[in-house]
Structure 1
Amino acid sequence: MGDLDQIDRSLLRLLQEDGRRTTLDLAGRVGLSPTGTSQRVKRLFRDGFITAVRAVLDPRKVGRGTLVFIEVRLDHTAPHIFDRFAEAVAKAPEVLECHMVVGGFDYLVKARIADMAVFQDFLQRVILPLPGVRETHTFASIADVKPNALLPV
């Protein structure tokens, strides 16, 4: 983990738990002055260890209560097809994550939709028209067992 000492690791853990912690609170928890703590947090941002601070929303309360995972197999695997697929999926607001994977399919798409009643529309409007899509398999999550896990540091 690069040039991180125990205080840096503690700051990263604390900020993952609650990104709204004040510098004063952080300083008290890691045993540094507020100025020293502020400098370390700024360095963690500058060096790319912290890439963003954002609110975690309740998907149900914002009309995205259903989580689906979609395996996507492309009709052929050429660089231009991968590029076109990646560009197109990046524009779909329902798609939370998309990973190119090794195995029996090419991409794993994680999306949030209102409910299964709108899933067919989402699949036909967003996923199936993506460049090169040959086949899909969908898995709907029935329980969030470990959502938004913190990275171990």
Structure 2
Amino acid sequence: MLDDIDRRILRHYQHDAAQPVADLAEAAGVTPATCARRLDRMKGAGIIRANRAVIDWRALGYEVEVSLRVTLEKSEPRAFDEFLAAAREVPEVVEIQTFLGRVDLRLSVIARDMTHYQELYRTAILALPHIADIEGLMHVARIKTDEILPV
């Protein structure tokens, strides 16, 4: 799948995907043409999925993050799909994860403050279809968030 050259390129690329190919090639110890060709191949293979901006939502005034564990009422065959479609429409829901087990989903919700969160909870979250049970966990601190892989 990946050889040592690919891994060297990825190690440097994941730290700064915006760096020029020539700089990346030098750091990885390959020619710019080789680096560009291998990046294109890894993008085509889906190994590199995207380059994106990471925005600090706290810098934009969102001070509250709540993790909601949701169990769905599953008597309706389309409950899962209908819930997901509706949850995707709530702009303050920044992440949706699904699980196997007692909890079906986890929503990560951001709000400007507790008043804003309470309003979101009452008007947008509780209005989501097919909720059987919901538990909120107030986010206190993010100890580690790392998308850099040991390649």
- Scaled by the length of structure 1, what TM-score is found? 0.89
Single out whichever of 41-50 and 62-71 deviates more from structure 2: 62-71
Aligned residues: CA RMSD: 1.6
Name the counterpart of 2:129: 131
Name the counterpart of 1:152: 150
Single out whichever of 13-22 and 33-42 deviates more from structure 2: 13-22
Amino acid at match of 2:19: R
CA distance in 2 between counterparts of 1:107 and 1:53 reads: 27
CA distance in 2 between counterparts of 1:72 and 1:150 reads: 29
Shift of 1:81: 0.4
- 1:102 aligned to which of 100, 103, 116: 100
Mark the runs of 5 or more structure 2 residues left unpaired by the alignment. none
Q: Contact 2:66–2:109 (CA<8 Å) still a contact in 1? A: yes
Structure 1 residues 86 and 152, CA gap change in structure 2 (3 angstroms): farther
| Aligned-pair identity (%) | 34
Structure 1 residues 112 and 18, CA gap change in structure 2 (3 angstroms): farther
Shift of 1:134: 2.1
State how many pairs are aligned.
151
Shift of 1:148: 4.2
Mark the runs of 5 or more structure 1 residues left unpaired by the alignment. none
Shift of 1:74: 1.3
Name the counterpart of 1:67: 65
Alpha-carbon displacement from aligned partner over 1:53-96 (angstroms, at most 9, x marks no partner): 11111221112232211001112254400110111112222112
- Scaled by the length of structure 2, what TM-score is found? 0.90
CA distance in 2 between counterparts of 1:9 and 1:78 reads: 46
Name the counterpart of 2:84: 86
Structure 1 residues 7 and 115, CA gap change in structure 2 (3 angstroms): farther
Structure 1 residues 121 and 148, CA gap change in structure 2 (3 angstroms): farther
